[in-house]
Structure 1
């Protein structure tokens, strides 16, 4: 026998749960009004709704998007992943070199650093892998702090995929700039090109949102002055990353609303394609 709930009319059978036909119930979903047992109901803003209506309502709710068209998520994942990879590479080269200060003495560092002659000889990966190497603890600390500060603002605004697109395009842009115009026998390493690309992306994003770009311009200007003033800094890598990052970001934030994802993907792919072509042309000149 089934106990009747308080207030149920005596002499009338209770309906069965729409999801569990073997269970009698005096409860109903306030949305679809189907009889439901307590296990199949969830508390809603007004009354209780069945799990089917709750699931349907969640699918129909549009997730908020940013001005780039990315689904908004405050969770930072890509930035932390990039920092982790850079720190892991630094730790590995330091262990192999037997020195934290002179980690560039490891064979792995020598195999991955941006050495233009090596790139011309077919070691093309140096254009990318050099962006995950750093000369000593101060070098990586400054770059990772800058990456975190920029990433915590840009990644939620651009979305993880678009953010990574800007980052890697800037990284490659810095490497190609060094390969095109730098000394052919001078090794270069660091995530600075990618970081400068994020600076350029931040400036473009502020302009797109019609916000005051003064702080971004000040940071970029100060860093460029430092790049010009201090010896041993790859100015070409910084400028290449800055220009490419700004251009790719512009292609993302100013993409037409119609087919926006296609336009944004095209901007990123076009940047990579152009950089590859420039690198191939340079290789032909050095061969």
Structure 2
């Protein structure tokens, strides 16, 4: 005598598996391999995916993406600076890395690459006139990725690694990238405005000073103690004012620009927070550019 066929429901994803479980959302039969715990009962994989699509992505306290916790921008900044240093050493030789003087003899010499991209107001070399006032405005950006030797690079990238990961996690990748670039740009413009026109400078320290200020601003906004950052700031300021060949204007300009950008990002409120942040940062960039234009007119006038 043959057995009657089973009438038990089968999992819609695994037809060979009988089950008495059902998705609490769509009510389709699911097996134990397919069930996902929900607030009420269990849900099937398809309903879980559908629910995730309908959810708003998680944001930080300042409106940034949680992808900042992965630190991709921070890693990218370190990688770019390191690759530029390698390129500078290739075209400039071993003394581009160390042994050319400065900072107890540990800094490297300038190279054709640093000559091309460092902050320089107006000067003649190689039989030609060069500088921002001569139309080489790109120098106000490229200088933050150039370094005079491996020690110069190492000191700055240690700060980027230490502070960048924290700020990127708090702000999200895009906002952190904007903060970093504005701090570096602001510091380079300050060097252009306040240094002698023929005095060159370069380095990510314009941006890293901005990161120090940004951590203090962000921590105050989050009601966290900014005290641990004060010794770091004081130490870097002591180095700035006591060691020769350091761009005082660049460091202080980066500090001010980073603090201003961080304040815009930290204190913009809902609604339309992202739009307010974008407008605030745009106004800040316009003011920095205006300072560079006025300096150019002064040099050429």
Query: 2:179 aligns to what?
Result: 166
1:29 to 12, 15, 22: 22
What are the ranges of 5 or more consecutive residues in structure 2 without an aligned counterpart? 101-107, 123-130
- Give the CA RMSD over aligned residues: 2.5
Quote the Cα distance in structure 2 between the aligned partners of 1:33 and 1:11.
26
Task: Give yes or no for the alignment of 1:112 onto 2:117.
Answer: yes
Q: CA deviation at 1:62?
A: 4.9
Q: TM-score, with normalisation over the residues of structure 2?
A: 0.83
Query: 1:250 aligns to what?
Result: 263
Task: Give yes or no for the alignment of 1:57 onto 2:43.
Answer: no
Q: CA deviation at 1:279?
A: 1.0
Query: 2:138 aligns to what?
Result: 125
Tell me the SS of whatever aligns to 1:41: coil
1:35-50 equivalences under 5 Å are 35-36=28-29, 41-44=34-37, 49-50=43-44
2:237 to 224, 242, 257: 224
Quote the Cα distance in structure 1 between the aligned partners of 2:287 and 2:259.
15
Would the alpha carbon gap of residues 11 and 91 (structure 1) be closer, same or farther in structure 2, given more than 3 Å must change? Answer: closer
Query: 1:82 aligns to what?
Result: 77
Task: Give yes or no for the alignment of 1:139 onto 2:152.
Answer: yes
Q: CA deviation at 1:42?
A: 4.0
Question: Which moved further from structure 2: 86-95 or 41-50?
Answer: 41-50
Question: CA contact under 8 A between 1:202 and 1:216: conserved in structure 2?
Answer: yes
Offset from partner CA, 1:124-164 (integer Å, 9 cap, x none)? 00111011111111111100001111112111001111101
Question: CA contact under 8 A between 2:184 and 2:210: conserved in structure 1?
Answer: yes
Query: 2:167 aligns to what?
Result: 154
2:291 to 275, 278, 283: 278
Would the alpha carbon gap of residues 171 and 44 (structure 1) be closer, same or farther in structure 2, given more than 3 Å must change? Answer: same
Quote the Cα distance in structure 1 between the aligned partners of 2:90 and 2:251.
28
Offset from partner CA, 1:50-69 (integer Å, 9 cap, x none)? 22211123234554432212
Quote the Cα distance in structure 2 between the aligned partners of 1:213 and 1:12.
68
1:5-24 equivalences under 5 Å are 10=4
Q: CA deviation at 1:19?
A: 7.9
Query: 2:127 aligns to what?
Result: none
Tell me the SS of whatever aligns to 2:43: strand
Question: CA contact under 8 A between 2:63 and 2:273: conserved in structure 1?
Answer: yes
Query: 1:236 aligns to what?
Result: 249
Query: 1:7 aligns to what?
Result: none
